[in-house]
Structure 1
Amino acid sequence: MSNDEELFFGADDEPVKDESESSSVEDAAASDKASAEEPEKEEAVSEDEDEEDEDEEEESSAGSEATNELEARYMSLYAEYDNYRRRTQKEKDNLYADAIASVTKEFLTLVDNLDRAVDGAKKSDENSLEKIIQGMELLGRQAQDTLTKIGVEEITAERGTKFDPNLHDAMMHIDDEELGEQEIAMVFAKGYKYKDRVIRHAQVQVAN
């Protein structure tokens, strides 16, 4: 008996099972099982991917709807704000126009009298100077009354009055022994205010 034959027979001449052959059979069976399971796994993976795609589509659709809703709300708010802005601007313009008309109306009588005074001065002779002066003084008082009527007050600024930078504008400084420190020496132009708002500061000369 050859050496190769002795590998397959024992002492009692019984054949010995080939382990490599058994292993090959098991490997083949495992391979067949794996091959059978692969389509099932691929099918399961495909189903999972389909479900994920559907979820993504639903999320995308929901996000798109939310975006459209926000855009619609934004456009609605913008339209409301634009209408409000236009309405308030129109109201402001109307208020301003009413204020201008009201003030102008109060001064029209003064303008008429000023025109009459100019016409009278042209027709008068040299001896009528006193009447012209009286007419101008009357116009000045009428102008002051008109300002008072619309709520405009003259700012107090007389010689000896204490200088107030909130009401007066110092145009010059001089030394004057008759006046105290920071007292008004002369008024160049009257100042006016409406309630607490200064329309024009009084232009003055300040002493010491």
Structure 2
Amino acid sequence: MENNQEKSQEEMVKEAVEEAKKAAEASGAPSEDEKAADEVASEDAENTEDTEEGQKEMEDSKESGKKLFGKKNKKDKKDEKIEELTDRLTRQMAEFDNFRKRTEKEKSHMYEVGAKDIIDKILPVVDNFERGLGAVGEEEKENPFVQGMEMVYKQLMTTLEEVGVKPIEAVGKEFDPEFHNAVMHVEDENFGENIVTEEFQKGYAYRDSIVRHSMVKVAN
């Protein structure tokens, strides 16, 4: 009798549970399994949203980094103007230095040309001194006038030498067309080939340039 009562109670409980399930299904309320599935789906959605937000933040960070490091800083207008003026000043200084050097070279060349022209005009005076003193006999060398002329001649030659004028060596030297002007040729066994034997007019050089070539006689 007791067993029948217990069974009937168990059956009643089962029936009540079944009826509750049916009622819940009919009313649309989710079951335990459905709740668990919904919770899992909700967590997946939240994780997906977090992932998408993280990716978006990373992309924004990369983009800002590109803008920060990839983009060149634009120069200020004042800095550009300073650079322009500095470059212009440097160019003008270089041009001025070149102009100064060129002017100095031209002045030096003009001075040398002018000096050679003056020296060339003085040389005939030197020639006349030498001819006159060369014509003085031995008995007249003690004459005060002759001695005075010799002193003037020596002073003139010393002054020319101080400014860079020197006579060109000729007699006994090998003929060199750069220094000598051959106006006569002679065959002489006493001299070697192409040797200057006599000087008709003395040549002079000013510094490194020739003012007047020596007029000479060349042997062999």
- Normalising by the smaller structure, the TM-score range is 0.3 to 0.5
TM norm structure 2: 0.46
Larger radius of gyration: 2
TM norm structure 1: 0.48
